[in-house]
Structure 1
Amino acid sequence: MEKTTIESSAFTSHQKIIIAILALLQFTVILDFVVISPLGDILMKKLSMTTSDFGFAVSAYAFSAGISGLLAAGFADKFDRKKLLIFFYIGFIIGTVFCAFSSSYHMLLMARIFTGLFGGVIGSISLAIVTDLFVIQQRGRVMGFIQMAYASSQILGIPAGLFFANHWGWHSTFIMIAVLGLLILAAVLTQLPAITKHLEMQSDKSPFLHLWHTLSNKQYQIGFMAIAFLSVGGFMLQPFGSAYLVNNIHISQEELPMVFFFTGLSVLIIMPLIGKLSDKISKFKLFAAGSILSVIMILIYTNLSPIPLWQIVVLNMILFMGIMSRMIPATTLNTAIPDMQDRGAYMSITSSLQQIAGGIGAVCAGFIVHQQTKTSPLEHYDILGLVVSGVTLLSVLLIYRVSQLAKAKVKDANL
C-alpha cells in the first residue's frame, strides 16, 4: 500500500513500520560513522596515524559524502525514493566491507571515501521520505524516533564494536556493521513501499537545472547555511573523544564501552521527550535552550583533569543531552523550508553541505589538537572547546532565521 501524505496526527501501523525501517537504516549508517571516534585511539596506535592523519580519515568520509550528495541532488527527485535508497545502501555495505579489510592508513582512507560516497546520501533520502509521508505536526516525533538510532548506536553499537575490537581486532567491528546492513537491506526490499508521489509534480528541467534552481533559491540558502554550521561543532569535538578520554582523563580501553553506553542511554531517554516537545512548543526556543546547555558543558568537558569514571559518565550524559536537544528541532524546522518538488534535492544539498562543513571542522580540529607521542595527552583540547562553543552560538542566530521562514511556509500552506 502506498500513501504519501498522512493527515491525522496519530501514526498508523503502516507508518510505524516505515519509521522502524528508517531508524534501523540510520542505526547502521550512523554507527559506521561514529564508531571511528571510539576506535580512534586504537586506530592511531595500530596504523601509526598522527592527529592530523586521523582528522583526514574522519573528514574523508564527510567530504566524499558531501560531493556525492551534491552530484545526486539533481537526480534525487527524478526517481522512486525506495529504489534510490536501495542503490546507495548497497554501496554503503560494500564500502563498510572494504573498511574491514584495510591494513594501512591509506587503505582505510580510500575505504572511508568509498563508503562516504554512498552512506552520505542515505540520510537525505530518508529525510525526503519522512517529509513526503508525514505532515509537519508529526515530524518532530518521527525525527525523535529516527534519531534514536544515534542513541542506539551509542548504547548497543559502539560498546559492541569496542568489544569486537578489543577481542578480535578493529577490523571485526566493520564486519559486524556490514552483516547488520545485509539484514536491514532485506527488510527495506520487502517492507518499504514505493514512494513516487513527488514524480507527479516534476517539471521538464534537467537534473542539473533542478540542482541549480534549488541552490540559487535565497530562502533555501538560509537553511543550507544553518544546518552546515550546526554540524561543524560535532565534527570538531567528536573525532578525538576517545583519545582525550584515554590519554587525558586516563579512562582505559575496557572502560570506554561503559562511557558510551550510559551516554547513549541518556540520549535514548531524551530523544522521544524532545520529539514530543518539538511538536508542542517553540522549536527555536527548544533549540536555543539545548545550545546554551551544550556550550556550558563543552567548556567544562574540554578543561577536565583526570577524574573518576562515574563523573566522566555523568558529564558525558549531560553534554550529549544538550547536543541532541538541538538536532531534532533544527532538523524539523529545516524540513519545512523546501517545496515538495524540491525536497529530494534540498535534503541532498543540505546533507552535502553539512558533511563538507563537518569535514572541514574535523580537519581543523586535527590541526588544533596535538599529541607528542602515541600515549601523550592531547594538547589544545581546551582551545578546541572555545572554537566549538563559538560556532554553537552562531548556529542559534541562523536557526532563528530558519524558524521564521518555517512559520511563513506553514502559514501559507494553511491559507
Structure 2
Amino acid sequence: MVHTLKDTLNFQKRDFNDNAPPNAKIILQKQPMEQSTTSLSGYQKLAVGLLALTQFTVVLDFMVMSPLGDSLIKSLKITPVQFGWVVSSYAFSAGVSGLLTAGFADRFDRKKLLLFFYIGFIVGTLFCGLANSYEAIIAARILTGLFGGVIGSISMAIITDLFTLQQRGRVMGIVQMGFGASQVLGIPISLYLANIWGWKSPFMMIVGLSTLLALVIMQAMKPVTKHLELQNDRNAFSHLWHTVAKRNYRIGFLATALLSIGGFMMMPFGSVFAINNLHVTPAQLPFIFMVSGVGSLIIMPLIGRLSDKVDKFKLFSGASIWMVIMILIYTNLPAVPLWMIILFNVLMMMGIMSRMIPATTLTTAIPVMQDRGAFMSINSSLQQIAGGIASFVAGMIVVQKNNSGPLEHYNTLGLVASGISILCIYMVYRVSQLTIKTPIPFPQNEKV
C-alpha cells in the first residue's frame, strides 16, 4: 500500500496523460524530481503555520460550544434538544454552504477564496458574541457556519496542492494540532473569560485573534493558482455533478460522513455529562480540557509522522478500536476522582484524533487536481452535515429532566457511536484500496 516514486511517475504517464486536458500533460511532465522529497521548504513551513492557526480559530469557534453547553443551557433556559439545534445549526449551514460553493471552488485563487470565507466567518462569530436570545444565537451560528464550514476544505485543497502524499501525513498532523491547541489554550482561556464576563466573551476573543490572522494571510501567503491551468469549460453545476458522479469520490464522501457521525456524536454533551454526572465543577472543567489538549498536541505530530511511514489503514484501524474501548469505559463511569476523569479523557481523545490523520490523508489522495477543490468542498459539506445529524440525534437520545439534573442515556450514545466507528473501519479500507489504483499528482510547482 506504499506508493513509490516510480509508481507515482507511472500512474501519471498512464492515467493523467490519457485523461487530462492537453495543458495538464505538460504541467505534470515538468514537475521536478526534488518535489517528491519529504523535507519542507521555508515557505511551506510558513504556509503550514498559517493554515494551522486558521484551523485553530475555526475549530475553537466550533469546539467552544461543547464546554459552554452547560452555561448556555442554564443562561438561555433551553433544553438539551434546543442546545442540540444550536450546535446543529452551524453544521447544517456549513454543509449547505459547502455544496453551494463546490462548483466554484476550483475556479478561483485558493488564497482569495480562503480570505473571503474567513472574513465572513469573523463577522458571523462577532454576531455570536452579540446574541442575547435563543433565536439570535441560532441565527448567528447559521451565519458563522455558512462561511466557517468551507474554510477546512479550502485548507485541505491548499495542502494537497502544495505538498506530496509523502509529506501530507506530517502536514495534516501539524494543521490538525489546531484541535489540540484549541483545548490547551483556547478552551481553558475561553472558559476562564466566560466565568468572568459571561459566555459571550470567548466569541469576542476569537474575533480579535482571527482579524489579526487574516491580515497576516493577506500579506504573507502566495496565490495558489496552479489548478486553474487544468480547468475545462464546464459550468459550476456541471463541475459539481461531475465530481459527485464519480464512484470513487462517493466512497470517500461516505467514509468521511461516517467518521464525522461516530466522532462527533458524544462531543456536544461532554461538559453536561462531566458536570452533572461526574460532578466536575465549572472551575475544574478548563483544566480537564487543557490536559486533554496537551495530550492531543503530543500525539498528533507523532501520529502524523507515523502515518507517513506505516500502512495508514492499519494505523486507522488500531486507533478506531482503541477509541471504541475508551468510549465504552468513559460513558459508563460513575462519579470518580478527578484524575481518573482526566486520564480517560486523554486516552479517549488519543483514539479519536489518531484516526483522523490517516483517514484524512488517504481521502486527499482520491481526487485529481482539477477536481480537488470541488471534492474537498463536498467532502467538508458532508462532514458538517453528518456532524449536525450526530448532534441532533444525540440531543434526541440523551435526557435531562431539569437544568441541574444528571444526563441520562449518555452510555447509549456511546454504544451508537462505537457501532458507527466499527463500520468506519470497513469504509476506510475501501478508501485505502482506491489510493492504490488512483494516480497521485505532484503538488503545485512553485519556487518556495
- The TM tier, using the shorter chain, reads over 0.9
Task: Give the equivalent residue in structure 1 for 2:257.
Answer: 228
Offset at residue 7 of structure 1 (A): 3.0
Separation of aligned partners in 2, 1:274 and 1:307: 30
User: Which of 383, 387, 390 is equivalent to 2:419?
Assistant: 390
Match of 2:369 among 309, 319, 340: 340
Question: CA deviation digits over 1:23-51, x for unaligned, max 9?
Answer: 00000000000000000000000001101
Q: Paired residue for 1:198?
A: 227
Mapped contact 2:368–2:440 kept (Cα < 8 A): no
Give the alignment partner of residue 57 of structure 2, picking from 22, 25, 28.
28
1:239 aligns with 2:278: no
Equivalent position amino acid for 1:341 in 2: Q
Q: Distance in 2 between matches of 1:213 and 1:310?
A: 52
User: Aligned with 2:265: secondary structure?
Assistant: helix
* Residue of 172, 176, 198 corresponding to 1:169: 198
Counterpart selection for 2:146 from 111, 117, 125: 117
Q: Secondary structure at the match of 1:117?
A: helix
Q: 2:75 — aligned with what?
A: 46
- Partners in 2 of 1:125 and 1:338 — Cα distance? 14
Decide whether aligned partners of structure 1 residues 412 and 349 sit closer, same or farther in structure 2, where only a CA change above 3 A counts.
Answer: closer
In structure 2, the residue matched to 1:293 is 322
SS across alignment from 1:203: coil
Match of 1:87 among 116, 125, 130: 116
In 2, Cα distance between the equivalents of 1:7 and 1:187?
29
Structure 2 residue runs without a partner (length 5+)? 1-30, 443-448
Q: Deviations over 1:272-317 (max 9, x none)?
A: 1100010000000000000000000000011111011111001000
Letter in 1 for 2:306: L
By how many angstroms is 1:98 displaced? 0.2
User: Residue 412 of structure 1: CA displacement?
Assistant: 9.5
State the identity %: 58
Residue 340 of structure 2, aligned match among 305, 311, 317 = 311
Equivalent residues in 2 for 1:373-384 (5 A)? 373-384=402-413
The answer to whether 1:272 aligns with 2:304 is no
What is the aligned partner in structure 2 of residue 77 from structure 1?
A: 106
2:263–2:421 contact (8 Å) kept in structure 1: no
Structure 1 CA distance for aligned equivalents of residues 374 and 90 of structure 2 = 20
Distance 1:316 1:412 in 2: 39
Give the distance between the partners of 2:282 and 2:390, measured in 1 at CA. 26
Q: In the alignment, which residue of structure 2 is the partner of 1:209?
A: 238
Question: Of 27, 32, 37, which residue of structure 1 is paired with 2:66?
Answer: 37
SS in 2 for 1:37: coil
Largest Rg, 1 or 2: 2
Letter of the 1:212 partner, please give it. W
Shift of 1:234: 2.5
Q: 1:16 to 1:412 in 2, by over 3 A?
A: closer
Matched, 1:371 2:400: yes
Summarize deviations over 1:356-411 as a string: whole Å, max 9, x none: 11111100000000000000000000110100000000010000000000121257
- Aligned: 1:402 with 2:431: yes
Structure 2: distance between partners of 1:238 and 1:30: 13
Residue 213 of structure 2 aligns with an amino acid whose one-letter code is I
Q: Distance in 2 between matches of 1:217 and 1:45?
A: 47
Deviations 1:95-125 (A, max 9, x none): 0000000001110000000000000000000
* Aligned pair partner of 1:255 in 270, 275, 284: 284
Please give the secondary structure, in 1, of the residue aligned with 2:366.
Answer: coil
Q: Alignment partner for residue 359 of structure 2, among 323, 326, 330?
A: 330
Secondary structure of 1:373's aligned partner: coil
Q: Contact 2:165 / 2:440 at 8 angstroms: preserved in 1?
A: no
* Amino acid aligned to 1:21: L
TM-score by length of 2: 0.90
CA contact (8 A) 2:121 2:145 kept: yes
1:233 Cα deviation from its structure 2 partner:
1.8
Q: Which consecutive residues of structure 1, in runs of 5 or more, have no partner in the other structure?
A: none
The yes-or-no answer on 1:132 pairing with 2:199 is no
- Matched positions, count: 410
- The counterpart of 1:360, out of the listed 377, 382, 389, is 389
Q: CA deviation at 1:8?
A: 2.2
Distance in 2 of aligned mates of 1:8 and 1:83: 28
Q: CA RMSD in A?
A: 1.1
Q: 1:133 to 1:308 in 2, by over 3 A?
A: same
Deviates most, 229-238 or 289-298: 229-238
Specify whether residues 412 and 72 from structure 1 end up closer, same or farther in structure 2 by C-alpha distance, changes over 3 A only.
Answer: closer
CA distance in 1, matches of 2:441, 2:73: 53
**Alpha-carbon separation, structure 2, partners of 1:269 and 1:278:** 15
Is 1:12 paired with 2:41? yes
In the other structure, the counterpart of 2:217 is: 188
Q: Does 1:103 align with 2:132?
A: yes
